[in-house]
């Protein structure tokens, strides 16, 4: 290969960046091209070697690119891919249960994820744009590239950037057999589970063929504590007329959570030199994740009762925010309508398979080409199981949520058929009334408390402080007992409800075919063109989403049970989502009950059965004692709750206890979307004196087909609606996307870069497919046993335009060693089209069919005029480049950067000022210090980001996450040349995430906190 030819190859942008598919022998062109000088990459190990490779990638690319490179086989610099990516300037990640998961580039989630240069289907983002790398084992990756300016040869480009995950290929390793593996034990500071991770790579190759199998298997238990609000709203949002406005949520929760994640990843790759310049690559990437998100805690709320909103919380310490009559509250008195322990377990099981078949041609001449066929499919099932352990006796008192709602006879509450009545002693009956089939009224919880607890909530400090649990409280335990006593007595709990709701099943598939050709000129065409590229691509992606609740049938076949008109109850019973003690089967679509005498007239009237029989916490479940809610809550005594492991299989639990589990779709969140893209591109590399780069044009025609489910009447005994049919929408649009990347070399040290591009990215598919969902709550005493509409959400609109932007970049880079460089870059994203949240109003019938009020409807709306702009400054320094003869000091290095990325979109906050894009921090800073000698390596990494917009509640009040700073540590020691022992510490300072409502500058109120545990790992890696 000539030097001129090698230089042409090294300026291909993404094509050259696909190092993972390279071979020593001849695969020097195409989407996986590399030359012989790059095959040594895997030999350079350690953090210094990783930094050398990352600097080299940035230096060689025509586009603005950053890279994270493996320190050795199976070892990216951090525990997860996302944690490694956050070290790059301009990248912001969110942690889930302490692990980095979702990724933003330059403040936006509109990022494309590629696998070895082509579109990647992962379980975490089958219908969304934002990369979610939770199911991808970092040990299978060799390198991760981040494109911040558009490379015209990339298959796809995101609005703010593109992430390309690189696996290894057989020809990248030496001839013969190679084996590398690792085994580690992990433990959290609080969970104290013995977790593990095992990974290995087995490779064989000769001059003509190679086969690689790599796999990673892990199990981890990640703990965190939460304290804060549930269901944010203003006190006057529900028809209130209070003189001051303040945040009065549905409730407050404190819980601890352990997330168990079982991951399996397998990558198989085959390479063959077919001769005559042809080569073949075939590979498959499999990822499987099982997650059990187990939480147990305490809930203090208004029971979603319409009569309580805005009245159950009273500010006792507050300040005016200077806008209208709004107050920022530091302390509340709480008239607690409802206190219950709760258990929630959301299990998610996902599998994805990505296959690639690739034929490359390069016979050493000027013309090369590649063809690729991609097939991918994935599935994800997420199931929720939950239960509430209620402490109330549910007896009547004014201003109290109760189950004894007959104003003429307050002994009439929960009513059951004879078969259930016979299971309890006669003393448990609340009166002598007997129904027409032998039914009776039972005391639902005789040892529960009998008055609303009066509590105090102080959020003026660094975490919430509760008080009032030691006040005497009337109830079944007798005089002088306090709420603390009730919480400690297991017999004072009764099951308020079992449910399985918000479940979803997603299936997705993807097919891609592309063909690219390249021609390199020995003599520059037109005096400056060194190479031209052209290609065509067709992709089809579909996603089917079913959101559903589990209903069960009740009282079908119960002797003597009838509906309100006297006809038999359907054989399958009346179906209910909430297997609850406050749900009475007397609503309008299906009833189950008996006739009893009216307490006033003596006439026979219908009395519906209560869905859930009086049930102790331990009737069907194991129980746990909870007395440690971490450092984010004070003042809450210990309590009893159900073990969340009992809902590891929620569907099986409901079948066992209730005899059946019926999937009932939620129409507004069930949809099918298919997206077909046909594209063609042309591009050219050029050199003109010290100026080089590329320019190109990609044309994409998009065909969109959306099937939405229409929303019908609200179903009885649940929070969903009937499916009223389908609406199918088809659209087609075309985008012309030019791009240019300019690089000017000033000597061998300085590079000046400039880039411009137009970009387009489809929306999250839910923004197209989601329909109308209607939310309800108990109407209160005025309409007992009726659900009233409280709001609605139209989560999708197939006529929304995709994200479109114009991107401008400029950069200066100074290189002064193999592992050392300085860079500064400025960027501006002019967002011409995007989607944001909006609000309108609507009128919908309550559960009884009557329209009574106008409610707010949230929906995605088309935004325009958005902007993200900023500055990135970075330095990678190896002291061996600066002071090569400084002895011990030469072993140190630094990798640091700062990003400034202010943004604004069309929405405004309560103060009338424009809001930033969701999840964007204005400032971010990374500092990594490292040391490496022949045996010892140590690395300390600090990541800091300022406040980010998390969501927007009613009245346009934004909710922000406060600034966070995470510290991670890695130390390793080479016992032998091929054996390394290591220690990792993740989040070693135990960072707490704080969320607050911002009314105006300097006027905020606490909302919630997340406390993640530090985690520690000890492991061993070996290679033969």
* pLDDT, tens only, 726-739: 889 999 999 999 99
List all residues 6 or more positions away from 565 whose beta carbon is below 8 Å from its beta carbon.
none
**Token pair 């044309």 in the structure block, residue:** 699
Question: What is the per-residue pLDDT for 87?
Answer: 81
- Return d(Cα 529, Cα 525) in angstroms, integer: 5
Please say if the pLDDT value at position 343 is more than 90. Answer: yes
Q: Answer yes or no: are the C-beta atoms of 123 and 287 closer than 8 Å.
A: yes
Q: Answer yes or no: are the C-beta atoms of 183 and 197 closer than 8 Å.
A: yes
Instruction: Categorize the per-residue pLDDT at 99 as very low, low, confident or very high, splitting at 50, 70 and 90.
Output: confident
Among 3-17, 747-761, 790-804, the least confident range: 3-17
Question: What is the per-residue pLDDT for 673?
Answer: 93
Closest CA to 733 of 667, 671, 804, 670: 804
Closest CA to 224 of 317, 295, 279: 295
Question: What is the per-residue pLDDT for 792?
Answer: 82
- With b meaning 16 or more CB within 10 Å and e meaning fewer, what string describes 632-671? bbebbbebbbbbbebbbebbebbeebbebbbebbbbbbbb
Instruction: Categorize the per-residue pLDDT at 75 as very low, low, confident or very high, splitting at 50, 70 and 90.
Output: low
Please say if the pLDDT value at position 83 is more than 50. Answer: yes
Question: What is the per-residue pLDDT for 79?
Answer: 66
Question: What is the per-residue pLDDT for 36?
Answer: 29
- Return d(Cα 41, Cα 8) in angstroms, integer: 20
Please say if the pLDDT value at position 790 is more than 60. Answer: yes
Question: What is the per-residue pLDDT for 27?
Answer: 24
Question: What is the per-residue pLDDT for 30?
Answer: 30
Question: What is the per-residue pLDDT for 847?
Answer: 78
Share of the chain above pLDDT 70, in %: 94
Which tokens is 826 given? 């400025």
Q: Answer yes or no: are the C-beta atoms of 574 and 717 closer than 8 Å.
A: yes
Chain segment 643-665, per-residue pLDDT in tens: 999 999 999 999 999 999 999 99
Q: SS3 of 918, please?
A: coil
Question: What is the per-residue pLDDT for 461?
Answer: 93
The pair phi, psi for residue 960, each rounded to 5°, is: -115, 150
Question: What is the per-residue pLDDT for 28?
Answer: 27
Name the more confident of 954 and 514.
Answer: 514
- Return d(Cα 268, Cα 231) in angstroms, integer: 46
Question: What is the per-residue pLDDT for 198?
Answer: 95
- Return d(Cα 890, Cα 882) in angstroms, integer: 8
Name the more confident of 767 and 55.
Answer: 55
Please say if the pLDDT value at position 31 is more than 70. Answer: no
Instruction: Categorize the per-residue pLDDT at 78 as very low, low, confident or very high, splitting at 50, 70 and 90.
Output: low
- Return d(Cα 350, Cα 507) in angstroms, integer: 10
Share of the chain above pLDDT 90, in %: 70
Chain segment 436-491, per-residue pLDDT in tens: 999 999 999 999 999 999 999 999 999 999 999 999 999 999 999 999 999 999 99
Among 240-244, 637-641, 667-671, 845-849, the least confident range: 845-849
**From-to residues of CATH 2.40.170.20 in the chain:** 47-387+502-548+666-1023
**Token pair 């607050």 in the structure block, residue:** 996
Of 234-238, 502-506, 904-908, highest mean pLDDT: 502-506
Q: Answer yes or no: are the C-beta atoms of 967 and 989 closer than 8 Å.
A: yes
Residue 330 burial class via C-beta count within 10 angstroms: exposed 0-12, middle 13-18, buried 19 and up? middle
- Return d(Cα 972, Cα 959) in angstroms, integer: 41
Instruction: Categorize the per-residue pLDDT at 992 as very low, low, confident or very high, splitting at 50, 70 and 90.
Output: very high
- Return d(Cα 216, Cα 181) in angstroms, integer: 9
- Return d(Cα 1000, Cα 1003) in angstroms, integer: 5
Please say if the pLDDT value at position 747 is more than 60. Answer: yes
Please say if the pLDDT value at position 537 is more than 50. Answer: yes
Please say if the pLDDT value at position 606 is more than 90. Answer: yes
Question: What is the per-residue pLDDT for 16?
Answer: 26
Closest CA to 644 of 190, 1011, 251, 297: 297
Please say if the pLDDT value at position 13 is more than 80. Answer: no
Q: SS3 of 166, please?
A: strand
Instruction: List, in sequence order, every residue forming a beta bridge with 624; answer none if it has no partner.
Output: 641
Among 469-473, 639-643, 863-867, 1001-1005, the least confident range: 863-867
Question: What is the per-residue pLDDT for 24?
Answer: 26
Instruction: Categorize the per-residue pLDDT at 515 as very low, low, confident or very high, splitting at 50, 70 and 90.
Output: very high
**Token pair 């099982």 in the structure block, residue:** 290
- Return d(Cα 908, Cα 947) in angstroms, integer: 17
Q: SS3 of 693, please?
A: strand
Please say if the pLDDT value at position 32 is more than 60. Answer: no
The dihedral over CA atoms of 902, 905, 907, 912, expressed in degrees to the nearest 10, equals 50
Which pTM value belongs to this model? 0.89
Question: What is the per-residue pLDDT for 73?
Answer: 57
Fold classification of 47-387+502-548+666-1023 is: Maltoporin; Chain A (2.40.170)
State mean pLDDT over 416-441.
97
Strands of 176-234, DSSP E: 176-188, 195-205, 209-230
The dihedral region occupied by 526, where left means phi > 0, alpha psi between -120 and 50, and beta the remainder, is left
Q: Answer yes or no: are the C-beta atoms of 893 and 879 closer than 8 Å.
A: yes
Closest CA to 218 of 244, 186, 240: 186
The pair phi, psi for residue 925, each rounded to 5°, is: -140, 135
Question: What is the per-residue pLDDT for 25?
Answer: 24
Q: What is the CA radius of gyration of the chain?
A: 31
Q: SS3 of 93, please?
A: strand
Name the more confident of 611 and 84.
Answer: 611
Instruction: Categorize the per-residue pLDDT at 135 as very low, low, confident or very high, splitting at 50, 70 and 90.
Output: confident
Please say if the pLDDT value at position 33 is more than 60. Answer: no
Give the total residue count for the chain. Answer: 1024
Instruction: Categorize the per-residue pLDDT at 6 as very low, low, confident or very high, splitting at 50, 70 and 90.
Output: very low
Chain segment 902-959, per-residue pLDDT in tens: 998 888 999 999 999 888 999 999 999 999 998 999 999 999 999 999 999 989 999 9
Residue 40 burial class via C-beta count within 10 angstroms: exposed 0-12, middle 13-18, buried 19 and up? exposed
The pair phi, psi for residue 971, each rounded to 5°, is: -135, 135
Q: Answer yes or no: are the C-beta atoms of 740 and 694 closer than 8 Å.
A: yes
State mean pLDDT over 546-567.
95
CA 585 to mean position of chain CA atoms? 37
Count CB neighbours of 976 within 10 A: 8
Please say if the pLDDT value at position 777 is more than 90. Answer: no
Among 72-86, 362-376, 666-680, 689-703, the least confident range: 72-86
Chain segment 298-330, per-residue pLDDT in tens: 999 988 776 777 889 999 999 999 999 999 999
Count CB neighbours of 1024 within 10 A: 9
Q: SS3 of 956, please?
A: helix
Please say if the pLDDT value at position 994 is more than 70. Answer: yes
Instruction: Categorize the per-residue pLDDT at 72 as very low, low, confident or very high, splitting at 50, 70 and 90.
Output: low
Instruction: Categorize the per-residue pLDDT at 886 as very low, low, confident or very high, splitting at 50, 70 and 90.
Output: confident
Question: What is the per-residue pLDDT for 784?
Answer: 73
Instruction: Categorize the per-residue pLDDT at 86 as very low, low, confident or very high, splitting at 50, 70 and 90.
Output: confident
Please say if the pLDDT value at position 836 is more than 50. Answer: yes
Question: What is the per-residue pLDDT for 835?
Answer: 84
Average pLDDT, the chain: 89
Closest CA to 302 of 386, 235, 256: 235
Question: What is the per-residue pLDDT for 906?
Answer: 83
Among 767-776, 867-876, 894-903, the least confident range: 767-776
Q: SS3 of 19, please?
A: helix
């Amino acid at each position: 290969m000539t030097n001129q030819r090698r230089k042409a190859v090294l300026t291909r942008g993404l094509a050259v960046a696909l190092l993972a598919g390279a071979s020593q022998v001849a695969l020097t062109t195409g989407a996986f091209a590399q030359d012989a000088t790059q095959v040594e990459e895997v030999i350079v190990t350690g953090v210094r070697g990783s930094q050398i490779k990352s600097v080299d990638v940035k230096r060689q690319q025509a586009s603005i690119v950053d890279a994270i490179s493996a320190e050795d086989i199976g070892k990216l610099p951090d525990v997860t891919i996302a944690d490694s990516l956050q070290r790059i300037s301009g990248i912001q990640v969110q942690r889930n249960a302490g692990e980095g998961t979702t990724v933003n580039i330059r403040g936006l989630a509109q990022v494309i994820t590629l696998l070895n240069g082509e579109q990647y289907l992962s379980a975490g983002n089958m219908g969304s744009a934002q990369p979610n790398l939770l199911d991808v084992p970092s040990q299978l990756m060799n390198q991760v590239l981040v494109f911040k300016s558009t490379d015209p040869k990339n298959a796809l480009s995101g609005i703010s950037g593109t992430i390309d995950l690189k696996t290894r290929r057989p020809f990248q390793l030496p001839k013969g057999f190679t084996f590398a593996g690792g085994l580690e034990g992990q433990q959290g500071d609080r969970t104290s589970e013995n977790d593990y991770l095992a990974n290995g790579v087995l490779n064989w190759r000769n001059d003509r063929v190679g086969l690689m199998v790599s796999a990673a298997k892990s199990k981890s238990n990640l703990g965190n504590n939460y304290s804060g609000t549930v269901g944010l709203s203003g006190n006057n949002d529900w028809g209130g007329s209070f003189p001051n406005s303040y945040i009065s949520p549905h409730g407050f929760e404190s819980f601890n959570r352990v997330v168990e994640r079982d991951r399996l990843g397998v990558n198989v790759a085959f390479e063959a030199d077919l001769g005559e310049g042809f080569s073949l690559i075939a590979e498959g990437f499999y990822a499987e994740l099982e997650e059990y998100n187990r939480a147990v805690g305490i809930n203090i709320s208004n029971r979603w009762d319409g009569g309580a909103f805005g009245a159950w919380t009273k500010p006792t310490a507050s300040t005016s925010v200077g806008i209208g009559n709004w107050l920022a509250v530091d302390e509340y008195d709480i008239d607690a309508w409802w206190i219950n322990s709760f258990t929630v377990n959301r299990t998610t099981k996902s599998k994805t398979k990505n296959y690639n078949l690739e034929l490359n041609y390069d016979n050493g001449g000027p013309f090369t080409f590649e063809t690729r066929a991609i097939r991918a499919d994935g599935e994800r099932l997420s199931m929720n199981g939950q239960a509430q352990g209620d402490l109330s006796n549910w007896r009547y008192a004014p201003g109290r949520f109760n189950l004894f709602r007959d104003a003429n006879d307050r002994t009439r509450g929960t009513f059951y058929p004879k078969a259930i009545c016979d299971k309890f002693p006669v003393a448990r009956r609340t009166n002598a009334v007997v129904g027409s089939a032998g039914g009776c009224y039972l005391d639902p919880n005789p040892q529960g408390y009998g008055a609303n607890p009066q509590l105090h909530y102080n959020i003026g400090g660094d975490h919430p402080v509760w008080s009032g649990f030691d006040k005497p409280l009337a109830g079944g335990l007798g005089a002088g007992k306090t709420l603390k006593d009730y919480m400690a007595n297991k017999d004072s709990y009764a099951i308020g409800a079992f449910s399985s709701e918000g479940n979803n099943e997603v299936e997705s598939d993807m097919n891609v075919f592309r063909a690219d050709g390249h021609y390199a000129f020995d003599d520059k065409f037109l005096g400056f063109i060194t190479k031209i590229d052209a290609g065509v691509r067709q992709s089809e992606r579909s996603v089917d989403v079913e959101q559903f609740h589990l209903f069960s049938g009740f009282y079908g076949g119960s002797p003597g049970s009838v509906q309100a008109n006297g006809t038999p109850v359907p054989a399958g019973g009346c179906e209910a989502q909430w297997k609850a003690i406050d749900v009475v089967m007397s609503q309008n679509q299906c009833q189950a009950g008996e006739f009893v005498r009216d307490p006033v007239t003596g006439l026979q009237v219908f009395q519906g059965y209560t869905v859930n029989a009086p049930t102790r916490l331990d009737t069907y479940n194991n129980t746990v004692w909870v007395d440690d809610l971490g450092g984010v809550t004070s003042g809450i005594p210990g309590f009893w709750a159900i073990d969340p492991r009992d809902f590891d299989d929620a569907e099986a639990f409901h079948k066992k206890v209730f005899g059946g589990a019926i999937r009932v779709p939620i129409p507004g969140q069930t949809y099918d979307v298919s997206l077909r893209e046909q594209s063609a591109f042309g591009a050219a590399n050029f050199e003109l004196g010290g100026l080089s780069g590329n320019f190109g044009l990609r044309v994409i025609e998009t065909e969109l087909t959306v099937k939405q489910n229409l929303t019908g009447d609200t179903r009885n005994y649940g929070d969903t609606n009937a499916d009223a049919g389908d609406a199918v929408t088809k659209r087609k649009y075309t985008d012309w996307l030019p791009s240019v990347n300019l690089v000017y070399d000033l000597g061998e040290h300085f590079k000046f870069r400039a880039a411009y591009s137009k970009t387009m990215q489809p929306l999250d598919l839910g923004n197209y497919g989601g329909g109308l969902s209607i939310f309800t709550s108990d109407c209160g005493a005025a309409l007992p046993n009726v659900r009233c509409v409280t709001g609605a959400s139209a989560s999708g609109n197939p006529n929304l335009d995709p994200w479109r932007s114009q991107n401008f970049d400029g950069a200066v880079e100074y290189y002064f060693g193999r592992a050392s460089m300085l860079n500064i870059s400025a960027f501006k994203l002019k967002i011409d089209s995007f989607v944001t949240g909006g609000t309108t109003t609507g009128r919908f019938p309550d559960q009884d069919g009557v329209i009574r009020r106008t409610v707010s409807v949230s929906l995605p709306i088309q935004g325009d005029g958005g902007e993200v702009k900023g500055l990135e400054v970075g330095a990678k320094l190896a002291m061996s480049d600066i002071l090569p003869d400084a002895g011990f000091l030469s072993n140190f290095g630094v990798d640091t950067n700062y990003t400034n990325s202010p943004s604004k979109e069309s929405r405004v906050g309560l103060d009338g000022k424009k809001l930033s894009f969701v999840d964007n921090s204005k400032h971010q800073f990374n500092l990594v210090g490292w040391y490496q000698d022949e045996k010892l390596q140590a690395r300390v990494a600090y990541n800091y980001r300022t406040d980010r917009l998390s969501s927007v509640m009613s009245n346009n009040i934004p909710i922000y996450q406060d600034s966070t700073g995470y510290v991670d540590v890695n130390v390793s020691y080479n016992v032998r040349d091929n054996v390394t022992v290591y220690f990792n510490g993740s989040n070693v300072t135990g960072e707490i995430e704080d969320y607050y409502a911002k009314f105006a500058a300097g006027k905020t109120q606490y909302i919630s906190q997340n406390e993640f545990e530090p985690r520690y790992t000890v492991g061993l890696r070996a290679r033969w």
